[in-house]
Amino acid sequence: MKPTSLAELRDAVRDSTGTLLVKGAGTASGWAGTPTGVDHELETTGLTGIVAYNPADMTVAVRAGTRFSKLQEELAANGQRIALDPARVQAGATVGGLIATADSGPLRHGYGGPRDLLIGVTMVLADGTVARSGGHVIKNVAGYDLGKLLCGSFGTLGVIAEAVLRVHPLPPATRTVSIPCDVTEAVELTGRILEARLEPAALEWYGGALHARYEGLESSVELRAAATPGGTVDHEASRVWDGEFVVRCGSRPSQLPAVAKHATAITSSVAVGVHTLAVDSATAVERLRDEFELTVCRRPAGSDLPAWGRPHPAVPLMRAVKQRFDPAGRLGPGRFAPWF
């Protein structure tokens, strides 16, 4: 099924029976568990385009199947952007897919993740009801904030049809300072950079260096870059996603060295404590999972390594929310297994 309007999407959910797997561009189709017992695939890539955009309001309403890179191009024509830079954007990730996976990149340090940039959402519930939450303005506290609940829901609570996102101005200048160091030094340096109030937009460790990215006016980024120890190099994309087993892992920022010792390659938002790691085997994933919360994003074909480990204390709450939203268990079968 590939609806091209909100009404078609509503009808597709309402008039079908059985289970539904929501699919965007498919860049994270292996995340959060292997789909099982899928009766229908519901593709969102026919739901594209901007619904409403007034640059002066600093918000944009966009259909969920729109490629995020395409949205950024349209915003850039007005000197604006959404301050979100996950690696999957280059692979064609959709707006809905990025929200459903709560994915983020180095800019998470300065701007937060999808939940911090999403201010309104239109969704289709498992029974075909169209529900709206939030609005088009940044100051908005009325009603339940369902948008935040959908961030990281992996298509299990509802089908995201449209999103209202906060936009930021494109920075007039950027500078990245790279400081060669090991992960232990990276934690210590991160503390010093934060204390010095240099306000980097990103503080990312990968490839044997801590990369501090500054954004703002030319004179400002120049001053802040000069106040950071180390030499200036170009900001390169990380190669970590080339690994056979790739996991996303959360920890206290100071625990980066303990996480990194399990990795063959790692990129880490040091101060946020979100790490993406390549590891060399399923056993290495399980060893890491003994110590830290993680989810497996990529595994070799044929591997039955589960996406999630021991149920953490919030799982009963997650199950209760799932039961309310989707009592018949139609949406995203197999996601969050064995927790759901």
Ligand X SMILES: Cc1cc2nc3c(=O)[nH]c(=O)nc-3n(C[C@H](O)[C@H](O)[C@H](O)COP(=O)(O)OP(=O)(O)OC[C@H]3O[C@@H](n4cnc5c(N)ncnc54)[C@H](O)[C@@H]3O)c2cc1C
| Residue position matching structure tokens 């996991």 | 247
Q: What is the CA radius of gyration of the chain?
A: 20
Residue 56 touches ligand X, criterion: CB under 6 A: no
What tokens does 234 get?
A: 């170009």
Bond prior to 55 in cis (omega within 30° of 0) = no
Q: What is the smallest separation between the CB atom of 57 and ligand X, expressed in angstroms?
A: 14
Helix residue spans in the chain (DSSP H): 6-14, 68-76, 95-101, 108-111, 114-117, 146-150, 183-195, 218-226, 256-260, 282-291, 315-325
Scanning 134-142, 201-209, 273-281, 321-329 for contacts with ligand X by CB under 6 A, the matching segment is 134-142
Task: Go through 249-273 and write b for each residue having 16 or more CB atoms within 10 A of its CB, e for each that does not.
Answer: bebebebbeebbebbebbbbbbbbb
Q: What is the smallest separation between the CB atom of 139 and ligand X, expressed in angstroms?
A: 3
Burial grade of 139 (CB within 10 A; 0-12, 13-18, 19 or more): exposed
Residue 317 touches ligand X, criterion: CB under 6 A: no
Scanning 16-24, 119-127, 135-143, 273-281 for contacts with ligand X by CB under 6 A, the matching segment is 135-143
Q: Do the beta carbons of residue 110 and residue 82 sit within 8 Å?
A: no
Q: What is the smallest separation between the CB atom of 140 and ligand X, expressed in angstroms?
A: 5
Scanning 107-115, 120-128, 136-144, 323-331 for contacts with ligand X by CB under 6 A, the matching segment is 136-144
Indicate the residue among 138 and 226 with the shorter CB distance to ligand X. Answer: 138
What tokens does 256 get?
A: 């980066």
Q: What is the smallest separation between the CB atom of 278 and ligand X, expressed in angstroms?
A: 41
Q: Which of 56, 77, 141, 301 binds ligand X (CB under 6 A)?
A: 141
Residue nearest to ligand X (CB): 139
Indicate the residue among 139 and 324 with the shorter CB distance to ligand X. Answer: 139
Q: Do the beta carbons of residue 115 and residue 102 sit within 8 Å?
A: yes
**Residue 295, beta-bridge partner list:** 248
Q: What is the smallest separation between the CB atom of 136 and ligand X, expressed in angstroms?
A: 12
Distance CA 49, CA 69 (A): 12
Scanning 33-41, 133-141, 262-270, 278-286 for contacts with ligand X by CB under 6 A, the matching segment is 133-141
Q: Do the beta carbons of residue 154 and residue 336 sit within 8 Å?
A: yes
Q: What is the smallest separation between the CB atom of 180 and ligand X, expressed in angstroms?
A: 43
Q: What is the smallest separation between the CB atom of 119 and ligand X, expressed in angstroms?
A: 10
Which residues, in sequence order, are CB contacts of 239 under 8 Å at separation 6+? 207, 265
Q: Which of 139, 195, 313, 317 binds ligand X (CB under 6 A)?
A: 139
Residue 301 touches ligand X, criterion: CB under 6 A: no
* # residues near ligand X by CB under 6 A: 3
Residue 140 touches ligand X, criterion: CB under 6 A: yes
Residues that bind ligand X (CB under 6 A): 139-141
